[in-house]
Structure 1
Amino acid sequence: MSESQIRVVRLDGSAAARAQDAFRLVYAEAFAEPPYAETEEAVSGTFRRFRAQTRKSTFLGALATAEGGQPVGMAYGYPLGPQTGWWDQLTEPVPEDMSREDGRRTFGLMELAVRAAWRRQGVASRLHETLLAAVDAERVLLNVHPDSEAAVAAYRAWGYRKVGDAHPWAGAPLHDVMLLNLG
């Protein structure tokens, strides 16, 4: 299927919550693969958090669908609040000026994934662009598993730079923390 036959739409939190099954399908398939190898239990945990995240007034999502509405990709996130623990997960501290958050400065890109059959067709780039077109922040922050070479390469190509390493949750392997300055 060509890129032009794939529709990408931006969703607010309530619309994303209604489309949770589509987000979950993409997530579960993409993150079952190495290096993530997420179990159904891990996926369930992610989607318990997803329900809470979609209730944030600042939540933004993007969903890519093929003809007939089949979900092929998704992305979502929200601005980081002043009490975010994101910076606390780094193995080495960063300067206070980098880690200062106010609820508007940094958009946290929580997830971006494309199902295997639709990769290398520009879907991830379109999801990223669609999501960020509505972001009113200075920068975007994300975590990525360093062994996910295609994802790391895409983020670098889009202008992200690595600012540290982190264990984003208890028991998580080391992830690259990447930052994209906007504007």
Structure 2
Amino acid sequence: MILNGTSSSDVRVVVTAHDEEGISIFQSDRTQQPFMPFGPGGSSFSTFDTRSSLPINNQDEPQDLQNMMPRPEPAGVTFCIANMAPQHSSPMHRTLSLDYCAVLSGEIVLELDGGEEKTIKAGEVVVQQGVNHVWHNRTDEVCKIVFVMVGAETVKLANGQELGNILNGK
């Protein structure tokens, strides 16, 4: 959908910083178009900021992240939005991160690899700790989810097995 020449899933990003004297300033004010790696009928992502390590250096200038899948560095953090297309599912996947997720609009079904499912609606949140999962949008509306992804250690089971990044169950 186009509104005033801008896609309805474009996001305005305002970035603050400091000038040479330490006065607060607006560093940038831009509109970011979503990245659609699965084509126009699939999900899209808007990655607004990613930092490679914590604590963050607030003097670093944010990077241009227009065409990036949201994944944090092992000791970093990523801030993004995912737009899940209607009647669309993500592949089964696990990331090495702690993900704070908040559904902004619509609803989404979170399925775990053991088969359990929960429906998460607008205004509800998920704290996801490196689990293998699928997102299902079983509605006829786009589901918009904001994520803050924090790099995490590999999950280690009692038997010593490590659970790393996976996509499509591999």
TM-score category (smaller protein): 0.3 to 0.5
Q: Which has the larger radius of gyration?
A: 2
Select the structure that is richer in helix. 1
Select the structure that is richer in strand. 2
